[in-house]
Amino acid sequence: MSSSFQLHLGTVPLLISMPHNGSHIPADIAVNMTESGLSSRDTDWFKDKLYQFALELGAYVLKPECSRYVIDLNRDPAGVNLYPGANSTELCPTTAFDLSPLYLENKTPDQEEISRRVQLYWQPYHDAIEKTLSQMLDTYGVAVLLEAHSIKSQVPRFFEGTLPDFNFGTANGESCDSSLLDHIEQVNYSPYSQVSNGRFKGGYITRHYGKPEKNIHAVQLELSQRTYMDEEKLTYCEQRAEQVIPKLKELVQTLISFAQENR
């Protein structure tokens, strides 16, 4: 455990990273934020609770303490837009998904502050990913990384209409072996909808760490929040979660099986 993240050590070569699960905002940053910023509303809520079963299956689980509003751990530290031309949020977001300002007037982070946050929060998380994947390769000869995300089913800023329930991204096939995506797509997600490399193709972590030629396979899942929570009240819905967890469990088991077969 670090002051900025928690890493649960597992027994199988699967790391589940939840870079947007945190909602904490340090006091020195909070003092400059609007009510919208302090809400952390765009958090990938309850991912650790939803994937609790993965601990019993032996997966490694990594999650941060701080909100994506502090710094987005799934963005290129150089500030490169992962979806050129799209209205995407920044490394240190200045607006929420609904475009409301996160900072008080003249209080947005400057380059010095952004660099400070990279050093304090971004770099330790990525060091943990790199170290864990490296240890997996040394121990098992293979490493699989699942980027576990979630998002509201309707966010006009990013996509039109309603998002499918299960959105897989493999950087258009570059972040994992094609056979792994085949196995993922063979899972029966019914009654939920599923798509691969649609609006979400995988963020910085998936694209940066997925190196199938080195037997490191990365996949991002952007799960619609309507499958397990009340999107408006931001509350966990046990009934909905109980229905979707078996699908997530089958997915995780599929990833573990792939890893064990490709050691």
Q: What is the DSSP string of 52-96?
A: THHHHTT-EEEEESB-TTT--TTS-TT---SSTTS----SS-SB-
Q: Give residue 83's pLDDT.
A: 66
Phi, psi of 194 (to 5 degrees): -145, 145
The more confident residue out of 225 and 79 is 225
81-116 pLDDT per residue, tens: 666 656 678 899 999 999 999 999 999 999 999 999
Specify the number of domains making up the chain: 1
Sign of torsion over alpha carbons 64, 68, 73, 74 = positive
**Strands, sheet with 143-151, edge to edge from the N-terminal-most edge strand:** 5-8, 60-64, 14-17, 143-151, 216-224, 166-169, 194-196
- In angstroms, what CA-CA distances link 37 with 6, 73, 107? 23, 17, 12
Q: Give residue 87's pLDDT.
A: 65
pTM of the model: 0.96
> pLDDT > 90: what percent of the chain?
91
227-259 pLDDT per residue, tens: 999 999 999 999 999 999 999 999 999 999 999
158-173 b/e (C-beta count within 10 Å ≥ 16 → b): bbeeebbbbbbbbbee
Q: Which residues have C-beta within 8 Å of that of residue 189, sequence separation ≥ 6? A: 165, 166, 247
Element (H, E) at 191: none
Task: Assign residue 146 the CATH number of its domain.
Answer: 3.40.630.40
* DSSP state at residue 199: S
Q: Where does the pLDDT of residue 2 fall: very low under 50, low under 70, confident under 90, or very high at 90 and above?
A: low
Domain residues for the domain of 89 are 5-261
At position 233, the amino acid (one-letter code) is: K
150-203 pLDDT per residue, tens: 999 999 888 889 999 999 999 999 999 999 999 999 999 999 999 999 989 999
Please check the confidence at residue 19 and state whether its pLDDT lies above 70: yes
23-41 pLDDT per residue, tens: 999 999 999 999 999 999 9
| Residues, the chain | 263
Decide: 199 and 228 in contact? Cβ < 8 Å.
Answer: no
SS (H, E, C) 102-120: CECCCCCCCHHHHHHHHHH
Decide: 93 and 102 in contact? Cβ < 8 Å.
Answer: yes
Query: C-alpha angle 72/74/75, rounded to 5°?
Result: 75
| CA dihedral of residues 247, 183, 62, 113 (deg, nearest 10) | -110
